[in-house]
Copies of this chain bind each other. A is one copy, B any other.
Amino acid sequence: MTGTEVLTGRVQDRNGPWLADRLLELGVELRHITLCGDRPADIEAQLRFLADQGVDLIITSGGLGPTADDMTVEVVARFCGLDLALDEALDARIGEIVTSLMKRQTGSQIVDAEAVRAANRKQALVPAGAVVLDPVGTAPGVVIAGTPTVVVLPGPPRELQPMWQAAVATDAVQTAIAGRTQYQQQTVRMFGLPESGLADTLRDAERAVPGFDRLEITTCLRRGELEIVTRYEPRDAGAYSDLLMVLRERHAREIFSEDGDLVDDQVAGLLDGRSIATAESCTAGLLAARLTERPGSSAYVAGGVVVYSNAAKAAMLGVDSTLIETHGAVSEPVAEAMVRGALQRFGADTAVAITGIAGPGGGTATKPVGTVCFSVALAEGTSLTRTLTLPGNRSDVRERSTTVAMHLLRRTLTGRG
């Protein structure tokens, strides 16, 4: 992973985690992820370190751009003892791509296409003998067979992801990963259990489950959800099912997924054939955005309102202003009035309302920052209202609130409210 920008908070590395999952699927064990700036010495030091660790495959991403600070190909070539050569066909290809890109570039004045091609010619320099991966954007990737085999990919995820598929198909990569073990991987998800509670259970399971030590268990608490990922070789499937039984015994109420499904997948399924509307205050659209992340969600999402001001709560959802005066905007009666308004105004059969104090301001002794009221209602009459105090800063409270709402939706739609 290179690019001085990945050494700053300005760019989130999305490639490391994505490639990690692809390798996991392939049964390839990922040993190290390293990031450094566009400094040849640092890039080379990391390549050397990884090679010294005896890995079979090194994947680099980034540093393939037209600007002078992009030098990954050059450094990798030197590391592999290869010279760079201009690939004429590739050069022409890049020229075409860039010219057509220029036309699409939204909002840009037309830049001299020749100058741009000159800037991109650099990208047509590839290590002699390397397998060239067709550009998805303007930058080609390369695969250099050897010990270790090195795959050089561009930084933008939109370019890297399809190009990785092409890289895996090459003989060089297939040879490099030939020795892999095929692992099984299972994921269990829970909601509402603290990580230390699970640690307790796992310590008991260690004694109770034969072969427990051959299970590679990773636990992770995120947004109030606890994820337990277990990897094991096929012969240890029995140990895993024993572990699963222990988890079910102890945490039947908290387990919501044994097949890795996300609550988002489950809610999407439960909403099939229904029509949902949202009424959001503190989350201000995050729940509606989350419900519509999936293609096809327009089939069941009618819409939603973001009612930040009290006037908007009245105008858009018909929330009685005296209700707000009496109980406050963050209260269960107001959440219930919001959810009723959402059902009615959108003619939906399912609705969720969220009103809370995301902070940092607005907290009181009785309603501290993090206080959030949720209400879920179905046209057929079922409804569920809860008030929680969520930890963290403004963005944590907002994000966590959407997760709580998804779980309350799930419980209501499965009749387990």
Residues of A within 8 A of B (CB): 3-14, 16-18, 20-21, 24, 30-39, 42, 45-46, 49, 53, 65-69, 98, 101-102, 104-109, 111-112, 115-116, 118-120, 138, 158, 191-200, 202-203, 206, 216-220, 222, 224, 227, 229, 253-254, 277-278, 280, 283-289, 291-293, 295-298, 301-309, 311-312, 315-316, 345-347, 359-361, 388-396, 398, 404
Contact = CB atoms under 8 A, between A and B. Distances in A.
Contact of A289 (B202, B286, B391): B286
Given A194-B101, A298-B309, A305-B303, A9 B18 contact: yes
B306 A285 contact: yes
A158 B392 contact: yes
The 9 closest A-B pairs by CB, nearest first: A285-B285, A107-B192, A285-B288, A303-B312, A9-B17, A9-B21, A284-B292, A33-B35, A111-B197
A385 B413 CA distance: 41
Given A119-B199, A289-B283, A361 B302 contact: no
A47 to B, nearest CB: 12
Contacts of A280: 285
A160 B106 CA distance: 40
Given A5-B218, A8-B20, A302-B311, A196 B98 contact: yes
15 contacts: A10-B17, A10-B222, A13-B17, A32-B42, A42-B53, A67-B219, A111-B197, A119-B203, A284-B288, A285-B287, A292-B308, A303-B306, A303-B308, A305-B306, A315-B345
B295 A302 contact: no
Given A200-B111, A200-B119, A394-B295, A347 B311 contact: yes
A34 B31 CA distance: 11
A316 to B, nearest CB: 7
A42 B308 CA distance: 49
Tally of this chain's copies: 2
Contacts of A305: 303-306, 316
Given A219-B69, A394-B295, A115 B316 contact: no
A404 B68 CA distance: 28
A303 B295 contact: no
Contact of A295 (B5, B306, B359, B390): B359
Contact of A393 (B3, B158, B191, B359): B158
Contacts of A285: 278, 280, 284-289, 292, 304, 306
B20 A33 contact: no
Contacts of A216: 4
Contacts of A303: 305-309, 312, 316
Contacts of A203: 68, 119
A8 B229 contact: yes
Given A106-B388, A107-B191, A389-B104, A361 B5 contact: no
A35 B34 contact: yes
A217 B5 CA distance: 10
A111 B306 contact: no
Contacts of A31: 36-37, 39, 42
